[in-house]
Structure 1
Amino acid sequence: MSRRRVAGAYLQEIRAECLRYLRSPGFVLPTLLFPATFYLLFAVLLGHAQPADAARFLLGSYVSFGVMAPGLFGFGMSLALERDNGLLTLKRAMPMPPLAYLLGKMVMAMMMALAIVMILQLLATAVAGVTLSVQQLLRLTLVASFGTLPFCALGLLLGTLSKGNGAAAVINLIYLPMAVLSGLWFPLKVLPPLLQDMAVIWPSYHLNALAQDALGFAVGSAWPHVLWLAAFSLVFITWAGWRLRRHG
């Protein structure tokens, strides 16, 4: 197959994946609107009871919370369903590049993350009164777009471990506690000391650190967080790939 046809196959898979989710409002609307709703509630409606920089800090927290969902649900739940209904087996039998299936879902997750961060930035600057430089906006957008990839890796693994009907419940049992234990919903200092120390194991903790760094909050060097997320993604993709080869 020529390079042009290979590239066309990748583009067609990306297009099909994005169209499939755009035609699923039960996935798209909650993914886009939940972070925005929570931000409006805590940063705007309850903003009078918060410190001066709270709206800017909450922007980073809810961006981190929001971009977790496209990777976890877009990969995990759909992969579990497609394994159950035989679609994954059909795609494997088709003459398509082996990575097109995963790349399509990854691009879809990144596009959803991009939409989430743009909505939250608009709310922060136009409604919550947050002042952000162009550099901060661009850095936060970059963090959000690529920050969903570790959760794609985790979602991929969960999709190999779950049955289609139970995948949503399994993912929610990980998604929501992870957000709480990472300090996305309230400061880590209110948690017991043991849970504070354990926060560093969660990818959402490191993603939030990068988001806060992009917004001007001092979190130290960003590279340890980047490297941790890269290592997490590599380990979980490798693990999920092994399970797919072994169990289908």
Structure 2
Amino acid sequence: MTTTLLKSDARQARRLPGAWQSGLRRGGLEIKQFFRLREQVVFTFAFPVVFLFLFASIFNDDVQGAGITASQLYVPAMMAAGIMSTSFQSLGISIAIERDEKVLRRLRGTPMPPASYFLGKVWLVLVTGVLETAVLLAVGSLFYDVRLPTSPAKWLTFGWLFLLGITACALLGIAISSVPKSGRSATSVVVLPFLVLQFISGVYIAIDTIPDWMLNIGAIFPLKWLCQGLRGVFLPDSAHVLEQAGSWEFGKTALVLGAWCVGGLVLCLLTFRWKNRRDG
């Protein structure tokens, strides 16, 4: 009898999907849930476009010595902010809410491998990040004369910038989700540092008008390097004079973003919790 039960359990274990397969299914569920919330979808994709329109309309003069307009300068900056919004902000808030509502605790009690939950979030972040970037690229090229790269090298640079940037920001979003004490406070805790970073990283204000001490603080975090790298991809070479170092610094950008991917993973491993502190 015992042997029969053990064989039955073994067959059932073999039938259970692995982490990768469960992650794909979880990702599909996350994406479906996202697109069912129409207000969230509209806000996610319209927010950076609206801000791009506002800033590009207010600041539409030529940038002296750079060979570009101010509106062109905002397109890659808004793309970088959009990538961080769909990863850092989205995950930081949603995971904190799911923890507060005990969704994570219930998932942890299921046979689903823990890695599947995070893989599902990764698929959601990738899909929304790609779509938002595509929307901003379309708006920038159609209305603000931002030229798409014609060389494979530039597209390759864009590819690793996107992947490193969204990975670093997603890991930081997972890490910061453990900071809020409740789901209701998650928005304030996550949005405030993201908002500050946008101002000191060259998203809303041209990099050559920000004080050096602010730029040095912004340079600690991924957003500044993601903005700078995307400017190097989508703006003419003449625009590099606006940067703090007078160049695009692609090598340094790769190192900083890569370091944040490693550091963000370490932070996640050290801080992530499946339940709130008050639950023990």
- Residue 9 of structure 2: aligned partner: none
Partner of 1:59: 75
Q: 1:155 maps to what in 2? A: 173
Taking every aligned residue pair, what percent have the same amino acid on both sides? 21
- Give, as a single letter, the amino acid of the residue that structure 1 aligns with 2:172: L
Cα distance between partner residues in 1 of 2:123 and 2:161: 15
User: Could you say which residue in structure 2 is the equivalent of 1:143?
Assistant: 161
Instruction: Give the aligned partner of residue 34 of structure 1.
Output: 47
How do residues 96-115 of structure 1 correspond to structure 2 at under 5 angstroms? 96-115=112-131
Contact 2:100 2:275 in 1 (8 A): no
Q: Which amino acid aligns with 1:144?
A: F
Within a 5 Å distance, the mapping from 1:1-248 to structure 2 comes to 1=13, 5-6=17-18, 7-43=20-56, 45-46=57-58, 48-51=60-63, 52-54=67-69, 55-135=71-151, 136=154, 139-140=157-158, 143-162=161-180, 163-215=182-234, 216-217=236-237, 218=240, 219-244=247-272
- Between the aligned partners of 2:127 and 2:160, the Cα distance in structure 1 is 12
Q: Answer whether contact 1:143 1:210 (CA < 8 A) is retained.
A: yes
Q: Bigger radius of gyration, 1 or 2?
A: 2
Length-normalised TM-score, structure 2: 0.79
Distance 1:138 1:125 in 2: 19
The alignment of Structure 1 onto Structure 2 pairs a total of residues equal to 247
Distance 1:151 1:3, change over 3 A: farther
Contact 1:113–1:145 (8 Å) recurs in 2: no
Q: Choose 141-150 or 111-120, whichever is displaced more.
A: 141-150
Return the offset for 1:193.
3.2
Contact 2:108 2:274 in 1 (8 A): no
Match for 2:206: what amino acid?
Answer: P
How far apart in 2 are the matches of 1:195 and 1:133? 31
Contact 1:203 1:232 in 2 (8 A): yes
AA of the residue aligned to 2:177: G
Comparing 57-66 and 208-217, the one that deviates more: 208-217
| Residue identity matched to 1:155 | G
Residue 3 of structure 2 corresponds to none
One-letter amino acid of the counterpart of residue 165, structure 1: R
Cα distance, 1:244–1:151 mapped onto 2, change above 3 Å: same
CA shift for structure 1 position 201: 0.8
Higher share in helix: 1
Residue type of the partner of 1:112?
A: T
Deviation, structure 1 residue 142? 5.4
Deviations 1:31-80 (A, max 9, x none): 2111111222233x346423351333221111011111111232111111
Retained in 2: the 8 A contact 1:121–1:137? no
Deviations, residues 128-185 of structure 1 (Å, cap 9, x unaligned): 2232234456754653354222111111111111121100011111111001011111
Distance verdict in 2 for CA 1:246–1:24, change over 3 Å: closer
Consecutive unaligned residues of structure 2, counting only runs of 5 or more, are 1-12, 241-246
Give the TM-score, by structure 1 length.
0.88
Asked if the contact 2:88/2:169 (under 8 Å) is kept, the reply is yes
Write the distance in 2 (CA, Å) between the matches of 1:118 and 1:134.
Answer: 16
Cα distance in 2, alignment partners of residues 47 and 73 from structure 1: 27
Q: Contact (CA 8 Å) 1:114, 1:141: kept in 2 or not?
A: no
Determine the C-alpha separation between the residues in 2 that align with 1:76 and 1:246.
14
| Structure 2 CA distance for aligned equivalents of residues 61 and 73 of structure 1 | 16
Unaligned regions of 5+ residues in structure 1, if any? none
2: distance between equivalents of 1:237 and 1:211?
24
The SS at the match of 1:184 is coil
